[in-house]
Amino acid sequence: RQMRDYLSGFQEQCDAILNDVNSALQHLESLQKQYLFVSTKTGTLHEACEQLLKEQSELVDLAENIQQKLSYFNELENINTKLNSPTLSVNSEGFIPMLAKLDDCIAYISSHVNQFAVSSLCDRLSCWLVFLWVFLFFIFFDPSAVPNSDNAFTLFYVKFRAAAPKVRTLIEQVEQRSEKMPEYQQVLNEIHQCYLDQRELLLGPSIASTVTELTSQNNRDHCALV
């Protein structure tokens, strides 16, 4: 009987240990499931973070690309504001750099944007060409200038020589672009014609008067005119 009681107690202890082991196994299985769940969620979150970082990088690149393209339009808007300013002078130091920026805008927009935008850009270009043309016209043209013995040399030579540095710089800008855009070539032709017309207007009467005087003085000896 003592042996039976001893074995019975031992069996109860074994059953208790077995229950503890089974309970521990259940806890381990539950922990394993939780671990797999957390691991799966962590992997999914990691992939989502990587995807978000990739999309963020793409958006940053896209924003920089848009900003770069938009810079041409922003610059064009600034140029348009300056061209519409009543204080604009084609003889100012900032005019030629502004013209170079306008060239960049023309080159970019002509190759990336539709014809309507290019037409609008040409309107802005024509605007500065009008400023240039008016400026050069008033340098060359003086309706009150009537040559006489006192002012002939000044009108014939000094006036044009004094204006030469201002005019040369601007005309060089037009000449450099005349082969690329017909608007420049047209203005260049008009500038040349304006110069010739004004020189003819000033020198024509003097030359005609001199020729008439010489022929009247030597009407019988034409060889003396040579």
3-state SS, residue 225:
helix
Integer Cα distance of 86 and 210 in angstroms: 45
Chain segment 6-46, per-residue pLDDT in tens: 777 788 888 888 888 889 999 999 999 999 999 999 999 99
Integer Cα distance of 35 and 30 in angstroms: 8
Any idea what the Cα angle at residue 203 is, between residues 163 and 152, rounded to 5°? 70
Integer Cα distance of 195 and 185 in angstroms: 15
Gyration radius of the chain over CA positions:
45
Chain segment 64-115, per-residue pLDDT in tens: 998 888 888 888 788 778 777 777 666 677 777 887 887 787 777 777 766 5
Name the residue type at position 37.
Answer: F
Chain segment 204-213, per-residue pLDDT in tens: 777 777 778 7
Integer Cα distance of 42 and 82 in angstroms: 58
